[in-house]
Amino acid sequence: MFSSAAILGTGSFGTALASLIGSRISDVVMIGRDPVTVDSINLAHRNPRYISDIDLPESVRAEIGMNHASLHPLILFCVPTSVTRQAATDLAEAGVPEETVLVSCAKGIERGTGDRMSVILKEVFPNNPVAVLSGPNHAEEIARDLATCAVIGCTNESIACQLQEVFTAPHFRSYTSDDLPGIELGGAIKNVYAIAAGIASGLNLGDNAISALVTRALAEMTRLGVRLGGRVETFAGLSGVGDLIATCFSAHSRNHRVGLALGQGKSLEEAVNALGMVAEGVPNTLSIYEAARDAGVRTPIIDAVHAILYEDMPAAWALSQLLNRDPRPENE
């Protein structure tokens, strides 16, 4: 078991994971940017901005600055994917031993490179073990000890088992896998479909329509994810269909909430501003749309979300275009 851990990010997921692993590890430091948040975590054991009604374990404290993270044997990345490369670079400058285990908990791919987060971490820390954590894991529920499962992706079996021990609690069961591409791509791509499902709810399309959308989204996610390097069975697992269901149907999902606002006629700017948190599907609609084009994969649902978010296409029109494509077999 790890003697201590650092969590980069004092947002929703960082807070939920601090609550989870703080019962297993006696020294957990959250690295933040906001002095008010850091002070409150240290003095009141509460995060005033995110999931503010839960008490964090006594083992959890907070600091500002990567130098406070660099010497812990386990470091979790819980910052948005758009800043993961920068956070990793800042951390590397603080000096990290080669045996430190780095875990990406963020869900998205980098725009421009199409890189998954574990690829970025490997680029910045070529000699360190790198792992990923994903699954149907809404922060708000984990922090309240509501049951769920997750998958830990790591190609080193012994480290995967050590991480499994860290991410185990009476209400939290984790599995291991060595398919990092499949795990990360499922977690990234489902954010776009959660926006689509939110739009469908906002348009009051009904349960049949949303179920059909999510089912076709799974087929599309699998087609794209396999082309980008994931294994087909991973998309049928916790980090694939499991997380797709969680985000497409949950009121907790920030991506779903952005979609709902769009379906109800708000602009993207209004929807994002009202949310006040990171909805990875918004930037990732761009990065995933571009990755799909580069790979030559047919992705009509992602294309429709891209058109609504970035080409000013009215949501109802995008829907009618989706439904009126040429007929084809269900499985091809």
Ligand X SMILES: O=C(CO)COP(=O)(O)O
Q: Footprint of ligand NAI on this chain (CB under 6 A)?
A: 9-14, 32-33, 50, 78-81, 83, 87, 105-108, 137-139, 277-278, 280
Binding to ligand X, residues 249-268 (CB under 6 A): 252-256
Q: How many CB atoms lie within 10 A of CB 268?
A: 17
Q: Which does 287 bind (CB under 5 to 8 A by kind): ligand X, ligand NAI, none?
A: none
CB 138 within 8 A of CB 110: no
Q: Specify the residue for token string 């998954």.
A: 116
What residue spans of the chain are helical by DSSP H?
Answer: 12-21, 35-44, 84-94, 117-124, 139-142, 157-166, 180-202, 207-227, 243-249, 254-263, 268-275, 281-295, 300-310, 315-323
Nearest to 183 by CA among 250, 137, 243, 253: 243
In the numeric block, which tokens belong to residue 65?
Answer: 């600055």
Is 184 annotated to bind ligand? Answer: no
Is 255 annotated to bind ligand? Answer: yes
Does residue 306 interact with ligand X by CB under 6 A?
no
Closer to ligand NAI by CB, 248 or 315: give it. 248
Catalytic residue among 116, 190, 223, 256: 190
d(CA 242, CA 266): 29
Taking CB under 6 A as the binding criterion, the range among 111-119, 132-140, 229-237, 315-323 that sits at the site for ligand X is: 132-140
Does residue 198 interact with ligand X by CB under 6 A?
no
| Numbered residues of the known binding site | 12-13, 33, 50, 107, 135, 139, 190, 243, 253-255, 278, 280
- Binding residues for ligand X, rule: CB under 6 A, are 107, 136-138, 191, 194, 243, 246-247, 252-256, 280
Catalytic center residues = 190
